[in-house]
Amino acid sequence: MTIFVRNLSVLSVLLLTAACSRQVEVKIGVLAPMSGELAKNGQSIAQGAQIAVDELNESKFLIDGKPAHFSLLIEDDKAKTDEAGNAAKRLVDAGVVAVYGPPNSNLAILTAPIFAKAGIPQMSSATNPQYTRMGSASSFRITADDIEQGTTLGRIAADKLHAKKVFLLDDGSTFGSGLTTEVNKIIVSKKIEVSKQSVLQASANYAELAKKISDNQTDVVVYGGNEQVGQGILKALRSAGSSARFVTGDTLCDAQAITNAAGNANKDYFCTIAGVSPSWLAAGAAFVEKYKAKHGEVGARAPLAYDGVHIFAQAMQKASSTNPTVYLAEMKKSALDGKIQGSVEFDAKGDLKDATVVIFEAINGKLVEQSNKF
Q: Which residue has the higher pLDDT, 20 or 170?
A: 170
Q: Is 244 helix (H, G, I), strand (E, B) or coil?
A: coil
Q: Are residues 283 and 317 in the same domain?
A: yes
* pLDDT at site 204: 81
Q: Which H helix or E strand runs over 351? A: none
Is pLDDT of 269 > 90?
yes
Establish if 251 belongs to a structural domain.
yes
Does residue 303 lie within any of the structural domains?
A: yes
266 and 300 share one domain: no
Q: Are 241 and 331 part of one and the same domain?
A: no
pLDDT confidence of residue 311: 96
Is there a single domain that holds both residue 364 and residue 223? Answer: yes
* 86 falls within a domain: yes
Say yes or no: 154 and 266 in one domain: yes
pLDDT of the residue at 80:
95
Helix, strand, coil % in the chain, rounded to nearest 5: 50, 20, 30
Whether 283 and 264 map to the same domain: the answer is no
Residue type, 176: G
- For the segment 112-144, what is each residue's pLDDT rounded down to a tens digit? 999 999 999 999 999 899 999 999 899 999 999
Name the average pLDDT for the chain. Answer: 90
pLDDT value at 9 more than 80? no
Residues 204 and 269 in one domain: yes
**CATH code for the domain in which residue 185 is found:** 3.40.50.2300
Looking at the fold, whether 155 and 254 belong to one and the same domain comes out as: yes
Domain that holds residue 180: 146-274+358-370
Question: What Å distances lie between residue 284 and 60, 63, 247, 273, 342, CA to CA?
Answer: 21, 24, 26, 15, 9
pTM: 0.84
- For residue 316, the SS3 value is helix
Q: Are residues 283 and 263 in the same domain?
A: no
Three-state secondary structure call for residue 36 = coil
Q: How many whole angstroms separate alpha carbon 364 and alpha carbon 61?
A: 44
CB 359 within 8 Å of CB 144: no
Phi, psi (5° rounding) for residue 254? Answer: -150, 170
Residues 154 and 52 both lie in one domain: no
Q: Please give the pLDDT value at position 13.
A: 47
Is the confidence at residue 281, as pLDDT, over 70? no
pLDDT, residue 8, reads 47
CB atoms within 10 A of CB 13: 10
169 and 113, same structural domain? Answer: no
Does 51 lie in the same domain as 180? no
Whether residue 191 is contained in a domain is answered as: yes
- CA separation, residue 272 to residues 18, 149, 368 (Å): 51, 7, 11
Domain assignment present for residue 174? The answer is yes
